[in-house]
Amino acid sequence: MKKQFLFSPIIACISVISLSGCYYDIEDKLYPKINCDTTNITYSSTVISILQNGACLSCHGGTASAGGNIILDTYDGLKAYAQNGHLMGSLKQEAGFSAMPLGGNKLNSCDINKLTAWISAGFPNN
């Protein structure tokens, strides 16, 4: 009788532990998708807004003292820097580029995707 009593709690404990140890992650709840519209990108509102909010224009504004003599608050200045690949290399903080914003956090993936879409569209001045 004691053997039967001893085995029942052990089997019950093992069953409870093994069943409670299994759980399934629901990807959408753990990593919610952010709606990021990359189809309606304009230079005048979207691109300039991203650069202002990301503190890029506070250092790279239109003065002669702009950081590294890189001026990003004009269309021509930004386009030149985007064409040579340095804009996205710096904003994505890739190896071989100066990570920007300097001393700040990397832009979020949605903003990076929007800038990439603007560049891929041929740098429209709209």
pLDDT in tens, 65-104: 566 778 788 899 889 989 988 888 988 888 888 888 777 7
Average pLDDT score over residue span 98-115: 85
Cα maximum dimension of the chain: 92
pTM comes to 0.68
d(Cα 9, Cα 13) in Å, to the nearest integer? 6
**Token pair of 7 as six digits:** 């085995």
Selection from 67, 39, 35, 64 nearest residue 51 by Cα: 67
Distance CA 71, CA 67 (A): 8
